[in-house]
Amino acid sequence: MMLGGSDTTTVTLTWALCLLLNNQHTLRRAQEELDKHIGRERLVKESDIDKLVYIKAIIKETLRIQPSAPLLPPRESVEDCTVAGYHIPASTRLILNVWKLHRDPRVWDDPLEFRPERFLVKHKEVDVQGKHYELLPFGGGRRSCPGISFAVRVMELALASFLHEFEIEKFLDEAIDMTGSFGSTNMKATPLEVFLKPRLSPDLYV
């Protein structure tokens, strides 16, 4: 479980950086939020996270548009049922495609666009705990990921700390390649390479 959790967390943070680098206005807004609430005289603490609503929205939007596990683990129907006009016999093995679910235009405006703001307005009440079926990066119900709360907190703190401490720049003046690889985990097909420049006082990096 620990290995699986670290893998998916790394994947999500990698995609978050890719999306931010391809959407510089979003990156700037995130760093402005950090400077407003944290300043540049200290490091981010876990107790700061609840004030960083835009950072939290970035994590949600990354999990929506680039879920670390595009296909949830199989489920099995316990009895005959009908879903959206489809008859599903008992004991049918079911695999939920959250990649498709998270890009449903009937639910999400401009679903292919990276817009963290959607979680500050229209979808403000939607979370990733498995209670809102339009967003299920960790699954839902009794078989959802047992480490949801911990994983989200780690991702929020890691992303906030990284954006707070470093200016991030692309190697080339072109969009980051967003091609994913095939497999159970939605990893980026090619490595992400960036330039990092400290944003804070040198004393804070010791």
Q: What is the pTM of this model?
A: 0.92
Give me the sign of the Cα torsion angle 115, 116, 121, 125. Answer: positive
Q: Which residues are annotated as a binding site?
A: 145
Instruction: Give the start-to-end residue ranges of the domains of the chain.
Output: 2-71+97-205
SS3 82: strand
pLDDT of 153: 95
Residues in binding site for heme: 145
2-71+97-205: CATH class: mainly alpha
Residues of the chain scoring pLDDT < 50? 1-3
Angle CA 42–47–51, to nearest 5: 90
| pLDDT value of residue 195 | 95
Q: By C-alpha distance, which of 30, 25, 101 is closest to 63?
A: 101
* pLDDT, tens digit (0-9, with 9 covering 90-100), for 37-93: 999 999 999 999 999 999 999 999 999 999 999 998 888 899 999 988 999 999 999
Q: How far apart are the first and last CA of the chain?
A: 32
pLDDT for 130 equals 80
